[in-house]
Amino acid sequence: MSPLLGHLLLAEVAVAHVEEMFQVISREHQASGRRLSAATLDRIRATLRAALNAALRAGLVEENPASLVALPPTRRPRAVVWIAARVQHWRKTGERPAVAVWTAAQTAQFLDAIAPHRLYAAYHLIALRGLRRGEAAGLRWCDVDLDEGTAAICRQLQRRDGRLMVCPPKTAHSTRVIALDRTTIAALRTHRSRQQAEAAPYGEGYRDSGYVFTNLNGDPVAPGRLTHVFQKLIAEHDVPPIRLHDLRHGAATLALAAGVQLKVVQEMLGHSSIVLTADTYTSVLPEVAHRAAEQTATHLLRAAGMVPGTTRRRGRALARRPRPTWGHTRTGLVRRRATSRRPVSAGPRPRARPPGRLRSDAAVSAA
C-alpha cells in the first residue's frame, strides 16, 4: 500500500485529508475481501494522532486533524463459548463468532490430540497460563525455573520490517512472574528433551539461541508461525475454530470457572486494571452459569417461605409440643402430661420418690 499522506507537508495535513485516507483504506480492504473492523480504524487513528501530537508539542503544527476525525463507534467484542448448539450451527452454516473460547472439555481434547507435536508445550502454556503469542515466542530458558515452577515474562518477540525484534512487553504491568502448574512443568521438561534431541543432527550448525520455542535449527520461532501452525492444527483435528489469542481468553475463563479470584487472573494475564480483565477476557462457561442459576432459584424458594423484612415464616407457627415428664404414683412410675413451668415464687419442686421405695397402701392408711 502506498503512503496516503506522504505527499503532503506536515503543516498541510487537514481533517479532509485524514478522512480521505480512511475512505481509501476501507475501499481497498473491501475490494480485496479483507475484514476491516472499527477497532482497526481506531488504532490507525490513534497512531496518527500520537505522531501529530508530537508535532503539535514541537510547534510544527497548530492543531491535530486526526483528533477531529469522526469514526464509527467501536464495540469491544465479547467472547462466547463454543457450546454444542453453537458448534452445530457453525458446522451447518459456517457462521462463527468474532471471538470465541473452547469449553474445558474442548481445550483438553485439543491439547491431547496435538501432544506429539513439537510445539505442543507452547500451546499448552498459552492455554493454561494466558500468555500472548509474542510473550511465548520471546520466552527464554533462563527466564524459566522448572524446579520452583515459575516463569518470568519480561520480553516479547515481534516481526518488524521483515525481521524478528526483541521488544518489551505490551505494558508495564505485562512484566510479571507467573506460576507454573505440574502439568505445564512436565510439558516443558519434555519439550526441552525434544529440543536437545533435535540439536544433535545439526552438530555445529545448530544455533543455540536460548529460546524455549525454536525452529528446527535453533532460531526462535516467530509469533506469526505460532499462529499459522495453530490454525493448521485446528483444521487437522476438526475442532471449532478460534484464534490463537482466544486461547488467552480461554485461560482466563477456565481459571475463573475453577474458582480462581479475579485479582489473581488479572496478575496472571498482566493487565493494568481488574476492570479490563472482568470486561474483556471473562466468558461464562455453561456449567458455571447453570450453577449460578440453581443457586439463585434455591435462594428465591427459601425466601418465599419467609415474611418480607422479618425472620418469621408465613402462616401460623405451630405451637411447640410440650415435652412429657415422668412422675410417681402409688401404683408406680407413670407418664405425666407436661404443664407450664412452675413460677419461681412457688418454691422448689418436691422430689419424686424413686421406684421401689413407694410406701404400701397399708402404710398410707396407718399414717
Provide CB contacts within 8 A for 241, sequence distance 6+. 90, 96, 100, 231, 234
**What is the distance between the alpha carbons of residues 175 and 198, in angstroms, rounded to a whole number?**
31
Whether the per-residue pLDDT at 338 is higher than 90: the answer is no
Q: What is the pLDDT of residue 358?
A: 47
Report the Cα 82 to chain-centroid distance in Å: 15
**Is 310's pLDDT higher than 80?**
no
Residue 243 near residue 120 (C-beta atoms within 8 A): no
Tell whether the torsion through CA atoms of 201, 204, 205 and 211 is positive or negative.
positive
pLDDT above 90 (res 353): no
pLDDT at 32 (0 to 100):
83
Residue 62 above 50 pLDDT? yes
- Evaluate if residue 321 carries a pLDDT over 70: no
Q: SS3 letters for 286-309?
A: HHHHHHHHHHHHHHHHHHHCECCC
The pLDDT value recorded for residue 33 is 80
- Which pTM value belongs to this model? 0.70
State residue 166's pLDDT score: 94
d(CA 12, CA 231): 44
* Residue 363 confidence class, pLDDT cut points 50, 70, 90: very low
pLDDT in tens, 183-204: 999 999 999 999 999 998 888 8
Within the chain, where are the H helices? 15-32, 38-57, 84-93, 104-113, 120-129, 133-137, 182-199, 223-237, 244-257, 262-269, 274-280, 286-304, 361-366
According to the model, what pLDDT value does residue 187 have?
97
Asked if 265 contacts 253 with a C-beta cutoff of 8 angstroms, the reply is no
pLDDT of 238 reads 87
The sign of the torsion formed by the CA atoms of 213, 169, 209, 160 equals positive
C-alpha cell at 107: 481445550
What proportion of the chain, given as a percentage, has pLDDT over 70? 80
3-class SS letters over 28-72: HHHHHCCCCCHHHHHHHHHHHHHHHHHHHHCCCCCCCHHHHCCCC
Question: Which pLDDT belongs to residue 303?
Answer: 74
CB 262 within 8 A of CB 146: no
pLDDT of 134 over the 50 cut: yes
11: Cβ contacts below 8 Å, ≥ 6 apart: 60, 61
pLDDT value at residue 10:
86
Tell me the one-letter amino acid at 359.
R
pLDDT at residue 304 tops 80: no
Distance from the first to the final alpha carbon of the chain:
127
Q: Which of 158, 117, 111 is nearest to 136 (CA)?
A: 158
pLDDT at 352 over 60: no
d(CA 289, CA 283): 10
Q: Which of 150, 156, 154 is nearest to 132 (CA)?
A: 156
Question: What are the beta bridge partners of residue 144?
Answer: 151
Residue 365 predicted with pLDDT over 50: no
pLDDT one-digit tens code per residue, 88-133? 999 999 998 888 999 999 999 999 999 999 999 999 999 999 999 9
- Beta-strand relationship, 100-101 and 80-81: parallel
User: Is residue 256 within 8 Å of 265, Cβ to Cβ?
Assistant: yes
